[in-house]
Amino acid sequence: MTYQADLLKGKRALVAGATQGIGAVIANHLAALGAHTTALGLGAGDGTLNADIEARQCDVTSADSVEAALADMPELDIVFNCAGIILRGAEHDVEVFQRVLNVNLTGTMRVCTATRERLKARRGCIVNTASMLSFFGGGLVPGYAASKGGVAQLTKSLAIAYAADGIRVNAVAPGWIATPLTQALQDDPARSGPILARTPLARWGTPDDVARAAVFLCTPAAAFMTGVILPVDGGYMVT
């Protein structure tokens, strides 16, 4: 733990897309710092979410589903948007492309819009999940790259729009992170080698790396930061 243990005590946090993967790790970090944390997601998750975190079913592509999940939350301090999908190779199909944008980009906007008044009451903050592919294209993932580029610009736009409400809006942009989604790349030296060769820190990132940076954006240390897209990529984007 790199933060004061009770840093977020008394805060109420919501993490969309948090029943598995990086979202679950972020939710675990928030709860460990004392925040009352609710995780939204589909299905049973992957078992990595701590037992003391409340998990609720929610489909970010449905306004009704989002509102139902938020029904008994009059106020919020922290909102994380981690819901996302990637469908390599299939995203050149327009219907698949639209599906990816609906989850990754429109879903992020839907949660931001639904929580704005709740955050305004507490002068809270939003952290979205962009990607290094917000800045680079991806031949196999045009929908993912387009949606994450959209998340970066959405973050900047909402930072301006929500500032008068006292709400800060930032994003993290993960690079090559060791998760089940990237396991095939990690296990293939021919593909992993060039990735690590271009990464100055010469290692794959971890979900904990992303979570610690993301949590920073909602701490008092980041109180004068909004509209920031924070790379968590080991320096990949600067080479």
CA dist 150 and 153 (Å) reads: 5
Residue keyed to tokens 């919501």: 14
Bridge partners of 41, per DSSP, are: 57
Bridge partners of 170, per DSSP, are: 127
Q: Which two tokens stand for residue 120?
A: 């305004």
Contact (Cβ atoms closer than 8 angstroms) between residue 91 and residue 144: yes
Question: Residues 3, 144, 162, 236: which is the catalytic one?
Answer: 144
CA dist 224 and 146 (Å) reads: 29
Q: Is 144 an active-site residue?
A: yes
**E-assigned strands of 75-232?**
78-81, 125-129, 168-174, 229-232
Contact (Cβ atoms closer than 8 angstroms) between residue 106 and residue 153: no
CA dist 118 and 72 (Å) reads: 11
Residue keyed to tokens 């909402």: 158
Q: Which two tokens stand for residue 83?
A: 């819901």
| Dihedral (CA of 152, 155, 161, 166) sign | negative
Catalytic machinery residues: 144
